[in-house]
Copies of this chain bind each other. A is one copy, B any other.
Amino acid sequence: MIKLVLIGSGNVAQHLISSFVGSKDIDLVQVFSRQKEAVSTLFDSNKITNNFTDLVVADLYILAVSDDSIAEVSSQLSFENRLVVHTAGSVSMDFLDQKNRRGVFYPLQTFSKNRTVDFSAIPICLETEFDADFEILEKVAKALSNQVFKINETQRQSLHVSAVFANNFVNHLYQISNAICAENNIPFEVLKPLILETANKVMTLSPSEAQTGPAIRNDIKTIERHLSFLTNENQVKIYKILTQSILQNGTKL
């Protein structure tokens, strides 16, 4: 059984703890959390520490901490030559202190508190400093997910940027959409089937095949009607730039 220590107590850490606790292939031997209470409902509190010098020996240490803390936390580890990985999409492996063997364990998903996620459907992207370490990291990832990928730093960076478009920006468009409806006393409920179908469509069609609407039809009259309908300057700006982008790149991006 692979012995694992998890360091962190934020959203990603908590989702990982819950999933590793339920895994029969991984022995989560310890969790490090500055505030023990943050994770005490998820894990045996006798095995939670807030002291770096108490960290036990393990095959793998996963640092699920904020991007900015990776360098500092990894430098505080009091051991050497063990396998230590972070979970960040946009941070180089090199930010980890080089006294240990380094790697990345990046689960590509959006994690929110109070929302359970099914790790089996989450792609986990792996990178290791030394080839010999890849196998163990892969075993740990496969204990959680059916989709495990070996990707290098540039690929991971591109994935992180892509995810900003496919998640952060998409969610912001939902928010604008909701705001426009709310101003006209229409409940967000009305938009939900459209939002789901929009996502489901690209499970089988490519995004360019799935594109519909006035911009891809070059329907200038409807675009102008929409622009004169919108009163919020920010919404007008976003409408214009995305319409322009569809007009120009709709079928060839």
Residues of chain A having any CB pair with chain B under 8 Å = 67-68, 90, 108-112, 115, 117, 121-123, 125, 147, 149, 151, 154-155, 157-181, 183-186, 188-216, 219, 221-222, 225-226, 229-230, 234, 237-239, 241-242, 245-246, 248-250, 253
The reply to whether A195 and B166 contact each other, CB–CB distance below 8 Å, is: yes
The reply to whether A108 and B158 contact each other, CB–CB distance below 8 Å, is: no
Please name 21 pairs of A and B residues whose Cβ atoms are closer than 8 Å in the assembled complex, sorted by A. A90-B222, A110-B197, A125-B190, A147-B193, A149-B190, A151-B186, A159-B184, A161-B180, A164-B213, A164-B239, A165-B177, A167-B213, A168-B246, A170-B195, A179-B253, A195-B199, A196-B203, A234-B248, A238-B241, A238-B242, A238-B245
Instruction: Please report the C-alpha to C-alpha distance between residue A73 and residue B179 in the assembled complex, in whole angstroms.
Output: 35
Instruction: Please report the C-alpha to C-alpha distance between residue A39 and residue B238 in the assembled complex, in whole angstroms.
Output: 38
A14 to chain B, nearest CB (A): 14
A235 to chain B, nearest CB (A): 8
Residues of B within 8 A of A172 (CB): 207, 211, 215, 242, 245-246, 250
The reply to whether A67 and B219 contact each other, CB–CB distance below 8 Å, is: yes
Residues of B within 8 A of A169 (CB): 173, 238-239, 242, 246
Instruction: Please report the C-alpha to C-alpha distance between residue A26 and residue B77 in the assembled complex, in whole angstroms.
Output: 71
Residues of B within 8 A of A167 (CB): 194-195, 197-198, 212-213
Residue in B155, B188, B191, B214 whose beta carbon sits within 8 Å of that of A168 in the complex: B214
Instruction: Please report the C-alpha to C-alpha distance between residue A181 and residue B123 in the assembled complex, in whole angstroms.
Output: 14
Instruction: Add 13 more A-B contacts to A123-B189, A149-B186, A167-B194 (CB < 8 A).
Output: A67-B221, A110-B198, A110-B201, A159-B191, A165-B180, A168-B216, A169-B246, A175-B249, A178-B253, A188-B207, A199-B200, A234-B248, A238-B241
A204 to chain B, nearest CB (A): 8
- Chain B residue nearest to A215 (CB atoms) is B168
The reply to whether A191 and B219 contact each other, CB–CB distance below 8 Å, is: no
Residue in B67, B90, B173, B175 whose beta carbon sits within 8 Å of that of A226 in the complex: B90
The reply to whether A190 and B147 contact each other, CB–CB distance below 8 Å, is: yes
With A109-B194, A248-B234 known as contacts, the answer to whether A205 contacts B241 (CB < 8 A) is no
